[in-house]
Structure 1
Amino acid sequence: MSTAARLVVRVGCRFEYDSPGPTPAVVLVRPEEHGQRVRHEDWATEPAIASHDYADLFGNRCRRLTIPAGRFVMRYDAEVETSPEPAETDWNAREIPVEELPDETLVYTLPSRFCLSDELSDFAWETFGGVQPGWARVQAICDWVHEQIVFKYGTSLPHTTVQDVLRDRTGVCRDFAHAAVTFCRALNIPARYAFGYLPDIGVPPVDVPMDFCAWFEAFLGGRWWTFDPRNNQRRIGHIPIARGRDALDVAMITTYGPARLEKMAVWADRVE
């Protein structure tokens, strides 16, 4: 990435747990480094424990550890250098016929736990089949999701599927992403779920605590493009942590036991 023009964002999070016993866990909070650069990062736990990093099946940077019994705090803080420009746009980006898609994209054309594209295929074709293929069609999907689903905290549960969202017409950012991913896949457009940090740059700040943000990426014209149906605008500063088939693949913390999350804080602020 060119250093002639850059945006530096401070990102991070803090989790406080109470656990009756040792609990293995996998943590996904570190920004990936494709198209952006982590120029400083700090990881700390209280009490200090051993941990190690590994890459999952999707290439995401994971940290593996065991939460000890009692009170336990994890804190991650980083400065990330990324593009100062809004997410890229190319209205000429075309859909690629399935027979020409790269092998590694095919998994993102299939149904997944929260994105049951096979069950919504008829609806997707009836609603979007007449739209010009390519960028215009994916944008039409984002427009529909943004207009038809009401963003509302507390309306989504860990097991909420796209069918639940379309029935209730409410959800949070992950539900917006799941809906758009589902429709794209139903139309044979590879689409993958993404989550990460999104600072309030170029938009009015919202009067709620910062949280992680979810969006999705569609494969058009031979590459992946960022789309954000929750905000439905080309935002500045999407800093991805992980990508997968849906939210199940990229939970920020997966615990294998009784550890209980007591408090959580997330930050994403412009530095320069």
Structure 2
Amino acid sequence: MLIRLGYEIAFRLPQPTPMLVTLNIHDSRRTDIVIGQELRALPGVPMRQYRDSFGNTCTRLTAPTGVFTLYTDAVVEDSGVQDLTMPLAREVPVDQLPDQALVFLLGSRYCETDQLVGMAWDLFGSAPNGWNRVQAICDYVHSQIEFGYHHANPTKGAVQALREGRGVCRDFAHSAIALCRCMNIPARYCTGYLGDIGVPPVNAPMDFSAWFEAYLDGQWYTFDARHNVPRIGRVLIARGRDAADAAISNSFGAHTLEKFLVWTDQTDDPTLSPRPQATPAGSLSPLA
């Protein structure tokens, strides 16, 4: 199966501004890229990449004054297989976890385990071990939070999301991650592309998506508390403890978001022919 994916994100800046962006397809999916380009900028500026401590590809640049656009367009090959389901996967005792998994047991900026641990054990202490406990957490979060783009709040963590009962995909992920960690199950935040593939299309603008991975039986498994069903066609961009580690952009100065467009569509065309109702990548023009 082929997936056409990309984005066009434009900022207006009052002065030259350093930026740190995490927008490239994750290295674990790079061999699946059929055709496409790395992160591009208009106007062009020098860019330098590095790998952060979570293995994400990060890009440093200085955006010029005025309208500055970041964009990518690519076709990726995907197995077309749904997220793996392993109901018999068991939890790994904390003293047997690999060292690199321990950081994903700790509280973090948006996953306040210290405030949720009592509630977590009350709710899930008697739940079956392993996969079924993580799924019970997903079921709970899915039932407690109402999804809506108008509920987005960049400072909202798991505690606030569960208290308000409203949020976006990152709030579902943060809430489930925090509750898993409270139950001594390592969990890490993921962000990337997830289109309406194999499901009825949603009448809403496409966006990047957030889900999480839980460590069971010696490997990481995908879970998604927002959709709460196995999905097809996830393409990872970044992982981390929470959204603070996988932010698509950090601007070290004032800016205004002028345009935000994401596409993730199944396709039979292995080329980058112009997309309908979209500006072809490579011929972008600054926004007025």
* TM-score (normalizing by structure 2): 0.90
Amino acid at match of 1:237: G
Alignment partner of 2:32 out of 8, 25, 37:
37
2:220 is matched with: 224
Residue 32 of structure 1 and its aligned partner are, at CA, apart by: 1.1
Residue 63 of structure 1 and its aligned partner are, at CA, apart by: 1.4
- Report which stretch shifted further, 55-64 or 103-112: 55-64
Q: Residues 96-175 of structure 1 correspond to what in structure 2 (within 5 A)?
A: 96-175=92-171
2:205 is matched with: 209
1:84 is matched with: 80
Amino acid at match of 1:23: T
Alignment partner of 2:174 out of 158, 174, 178:
178
Q: Distance in 2 between matches of 1:270 and 1:78?
A: 12
Amino acid at match of 1:259: H
Alignment partner of 1:26 out of 20, 39, 43:
20
Amino acid at match of 2:101: T
Structure 1: runs of 5+ lacking an equivalent = 1-6
Residue 99 of structure 1 and its aligned partner are, at CA, apart by: 0.4
Amino acid at match of 1:118: D
* TM-score (normalizing by structure 1): 0.95
Q: RMSD of the TM alignment (CA)? A: 1.1
Q: Is the 8 A contact 1:67 1:259 kept in 2?
A: no
2:263 counterpart of 1:267: yes
2:70 is matched with: 74
Q: Which runs of 4+ in 1 moved over 3 A?
A: none
2:14 counterpart of 1:10: no
Q: Secondary structure at the match of 2:259?
A: strand
- Report which stretch shifted further, 63-72 or 133-142: 63-72
1:179-229 deviation per Cα after TM superposition (whole angstroms, max 9, x unaligned): 000000000000000010001111000111100000000000100000011
Q: Distance in 1 between matches of 2:27 and 2:85?
A: 21
1:59 is matched with: 55
Q: Distance in 1 between matches of 2:5 and 2:53?
A: 25
Amino acid at match of 1:73: T
Residue 103 of structure 1 and its aligned partner are, at CA, apart by: 0.4
